[in-house]
């Protein structure tokens, strides 16, 4: 359809502000955006609708319009609901770049324009395809209550008799059509994700066709609109482990072009839902980042505890008591080191740590760890550099269970996702993951972070593309002690413990018993002080004296391990 036809449609109420000589341009699609730079997912020929939320002052208009013109956009339509009349600086920028500009009256919804354009552009397609697209557009423009990907897939099932599922890159089922019948077995989900990631790494364009157990599936990549469809100049490794996929039980090899286009459009609609879910994680990501910064900068435990009290209701709604916490550290590394792996590791952790159903996670004794609403509400992941750090809340463990045994276990986290992720990492990437023990307070969080990082280094020493290690494996160092030569053992323990023994003999300060109790309490000031029947300030004085005499830092995992081994060898 042409721009002139839009202007002549009274129901749309469009008012031309500039570009009268360009009204014979063809519109091939429509996109709504308020991003300052939407170029990553513009393909050209679109009518761009914007509410102008990206504009903070007049200087923002020129870059925005230049980006649209460079991407081959057909025209820009600006809503008047946010700022009233469209600002002159936007009108002038569009005139400079020969980009037709319309004003959209505040009484006209963008959804109305979107539906009209889609109907016109789809008019040459088969009637059932146009109807499905139209219904999809209405569904997705209705907002978060529209039903999400499940309802989109239901339309595919009822209107086109297509069985389809949305899967994460780790093979986790996210949505499926009601007509799809029984859920896909976990083994099939894992294989489909692995086949999809392997095909994506080859650089081939989707859909990808694969036969599993006698059934043909066509796999369509779902590119996040917020991240943008990867241009040719972008390294596929930046998104390969982040994007969802649409698996359709059909052979797309003999489909007409119209049906391929329809399914590509469906993936764009599902990408909108993906972006909504990512936006919902923004608060949890920010909480994780704030807590991480406090922990790493050595903030007072009281300050960290206050931030955790804010985080707990967000991550575990309705939780009565303060939870325990567990830290998971993941690192994605690519050969050459030119690609930042932190964002990819963050997305992966958010997918890996989501349970398929609420209340599915249990501790080592099989006790359910949650019964909350949406499982993803428990996830808070920050990233820095190539590393992602997850702050995982666990309900306070009952007295009959040992808190250090509860929660996430490294091997279990990767059991079901190892094959897909290995395929996505191919022969030039690596994922390593470390899991801490559960800690009971803010005071233990710094140690938990170092413990998780140390466990990840243990995993990195192993062979394989996807490796994990837990806190339990750190204690296995003790197994090596019988093989350490006696003279080395004596020198090691003397260097660390003799200054403390000498001080205890002269001052009866009981630094050695204090050190043993402190390590046994996992560095918890309150638990250790209670065990020794000391005031916390007295305990802090003793620990400070230990650090001064040995030139070590008991907040560092490496130094804790050295003291632990020295006491075991003494």
Residue boundaries of the structural domains of the chain: 3-115, 143-280, 282-475, 484-569
- Which CATH fold topology does 143-280 show? Beta-Lactamase (3.30.450)
Residue 324 burial by CB count (10 A; 0-12/13-18/19+): exposed, middle or buried? buried
- Which CATH fold topology does 282-475 show? Alpha-Beta Plaits (3.30.70)
Whether the pLDDT of residue 279 is over 90: the answer is: no
Residue 459 burial by CB count (10 A; 0-12/13-18/19+): exposed, middle or buried? buried
Nearest Cα to Cα of residue 567 among 496, 464, 467, 465? 496
Lowest-confidence region among 218-232, 411-425, 452-466: 218-232
Q: 169 Cβ partners below 8 Å, 6+ apart? A: 193, 196, 197, 240, 241, 242, 243, 244, 245, 348, 351, 420, 421, 424
Provide the pLDDT for residue 230.
47
Provide the pLDDT for residue 395.
67
Confidence of residue 302 (pLDDT cuts 50, 70, 90): confident
Provide the pLDDT for residue 366.
38
Token reading at 272: 């909108």
More confident of the two residues 569 and 352: 352
Q: What mean pLDDT is predicted for residues 159-164?
A: 81
Provide the pLDDT for residue 58.
93
- Residue 174 dihedral angles phi and psi, to the nearest 5°: -110, -40
Span 412-426, pLDDT tens digits: 888 778 888 888 888
Span 497-555, pLDDT tens digits: 999 999 999 998 999 999 999 998 888 899 899 999 999 999 999 999 999 999 999 98
Q: Are 176 and 246 in contact (CB under 8 A)?
A: no
* Separation of alpha carbons 540 and 156, rounded Å: 64
Whether the pLDDT of residue 180 is over 50: the answer is: no
Give residue for tokens 């091939």: 28
Provide the pLDDT for residue 233.
46
More confident of the two residues 447 and 102: 102
**Do 143-280 and 282-475 show the same overall fold?**
no
Provide the pLDDT for residue 382.
87
Q: Are 443 and 531 in contact (CB under 8 A)?
A: no
Confidence of residue 357 (pLDDT cuts 50, 70, 90): very low
Cα–Cα distances (Å) from 7 to 3, 23, 82, in that order, read 6, 9, 22
pLDDT, mean over the chain? 79
Provide the pLDDT for residue 316.
59
Confidence of residue 205 (pLDDT cuts 50, 70, 90): confident
- Which CATH fold topology does 484-569 show? Arc Repressor Mutant, subunit A (1.10.10)
Provide the pLDDT for residue 351.
82
More confident of the two residues 555 and 151: 555
Whether the pLDDT of residue 152 is over 80: the answer is: no
Whether the pLDDT of residue 8 is over 90: the answer is: no
- For the 3-115 domain, the top CATH level (class) is alpha beta
Span 56-66, pLDDT tens digits: 999 999 999 99
Provide the pLDDT for residue 307.
80
Can you list the positions of beta strands (E) in 28-99?
29-32, 46-50, 75-79
Whether the pLDDT of residue 122 is over 60: the answer is: no
More confident of the two residues 224 and 44: 44
Whether the pLDDT of residue 319 is over 60: the answer is: no
Strand partners, 18: 101
Cα–Cα distances (Å) from 113 to 6, 120, 411, in that order, read 9, 11, 51
pTM score, two decimals?
0.57
Whether the pLDDT of residue 242 is over 60: the answer is: yes
Q: What is the DSSP string of 134-200?
A: HHHHHHHTT-GGG-HHHHHHHHHHHHH---EEEE-TT--EEEE-GGG-SPPPHHHHHHHHHHHHHHH
Q: Are 1 and 116 in contact (CB under 8 A)?
A: no
Whether the pLDDT of residue 135 is over 70: the answer is: no
52: left (phi over 0), alpha (psi -120 to 50) or beta: left
More confident of the two residues 323 and 334: 334
Provide the pLDDT for residue 443.
77
Provide the pLDDT for residue 2.
85
Whether the pLDDT of residue 45 is over 50: the answer is: yes
* Separation of alpha carbons 327 and 329, rounded Å: 7
pLDDT over 90, % of the chain:
23
Q: What mean pLDDT is predicted for residues 460-471?
A: 85
Whether the pLDDT of residue 398 is over 70: the answer is: no
Provide the pLDDT for residue 511.
94
């Amino acid at each position: 359809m042409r721009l002139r036809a839009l202007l002549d449609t009274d129901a749309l109420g469009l008012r031309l502000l500039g570009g009268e000589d360009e009204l014979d341009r063809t519109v091939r699609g429509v996109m709504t955006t308020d991003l300052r730079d939407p170029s990553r997912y513009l393909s050209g020929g679109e009518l761009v609708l914007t509410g102008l939320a990206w504009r903070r002052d007049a200087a923002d208009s020129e870059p925005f319009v230049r980006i649209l013109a460079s991407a081959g956009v057909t025209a820009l339509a600006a809503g008047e609901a946010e700022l009233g009349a469209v600002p002159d600086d936007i009108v002038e920028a569009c005139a400079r770049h020969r980009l037709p500009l319309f004003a959209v009256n505040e009484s006209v919804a963008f959804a109305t324009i979107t539906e009209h354009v889609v109907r016109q552009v789809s008019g040459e397609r088969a009637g059932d395809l146009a109807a499905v697209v139209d219904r999809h557009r209405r569904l997705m423009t209705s907002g978060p209550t529209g039903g999400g990907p499940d309802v989109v897939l239901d339309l595919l099932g009822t209107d086109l008799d297509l069985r389809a599922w949305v899967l994460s890159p780790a093979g986790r089922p996210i949505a499926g059509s009601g007509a799809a019948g029984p859920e896909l077995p976990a083994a099939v989900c894992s294989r489909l994700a692995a086949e999809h990631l392997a095909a994506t790494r080859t650089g081939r364009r989707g859909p990808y066709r694969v036969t599993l157990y006698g059934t043909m599936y066509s796999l369509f990549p779902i590119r996040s609109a917020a991240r943008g469809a990867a241009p040719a100049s972008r390294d596929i490794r930046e998104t390969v482990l982040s994007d969802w996929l649409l698996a359709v039980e059909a052979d797309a090899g003999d489909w007409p072009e119209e049906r391929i286009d329809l399914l590509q459009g469906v993936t764009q609609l599902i990408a909108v839902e993906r972006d909504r879910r990512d936006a919902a994680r923004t608060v949890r990501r920010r909480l994780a980042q704030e807590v991480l910064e406090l922990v790493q900068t050595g903030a007072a435990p009281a300050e960290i505890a206050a931030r955790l009290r804010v985080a707990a209701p967000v991550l575990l709604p309705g939780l009565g008591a303060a939870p325990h916490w567990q830290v998971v550290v993941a690192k994605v590394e690519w050969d050459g080191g030119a690609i930042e792996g932190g964002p990819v590791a963050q997305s992966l952790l958010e997918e890996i740590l989501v349970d398929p159903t609420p209340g599915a996670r249990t501790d080592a004794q099989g006790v359910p760890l949650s019964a909350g609403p949406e499982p993803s509400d428990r996830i808070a992941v920050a990233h820095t550099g190539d590393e992602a750090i997850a702050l995982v809340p666990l309900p306070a463990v009952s007295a009959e269970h040992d808190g250090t045994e509860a929660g996430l276990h490294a091997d279990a986290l990767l059991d079901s996702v190892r094959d897909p992720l290995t395929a996505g990492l191919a022969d030039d990437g690596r994922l390593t993951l470390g899991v801490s023990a559960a800690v009971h307070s803010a005071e233990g969080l710094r140690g938990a972070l170092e413990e998780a990082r140390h466990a990840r280094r243990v995993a990195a020493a192993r062979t394989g593309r996807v490796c994990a290690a837990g806190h339990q494996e750190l204690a296995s160092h003790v197994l090596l002690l019988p093989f350490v030569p006696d003279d080395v053992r004596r020198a090691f323990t003397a260097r660390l413990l003799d200054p403390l023994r000498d001080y205890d003999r002269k001052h009866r300060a009981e630094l050695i018993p204090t050190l043993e109790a402190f390590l046994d309490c996992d560095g918890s000031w309150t638990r250790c002080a209670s065990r020794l029947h000391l005031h916390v300030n007295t305990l802090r004085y003793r620990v400070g004296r230990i650090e001064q005499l040995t030139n070590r830092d008991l907040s560092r995992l490496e130094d804790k391990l050295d003291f632990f081994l020295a006491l075991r060898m003494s």
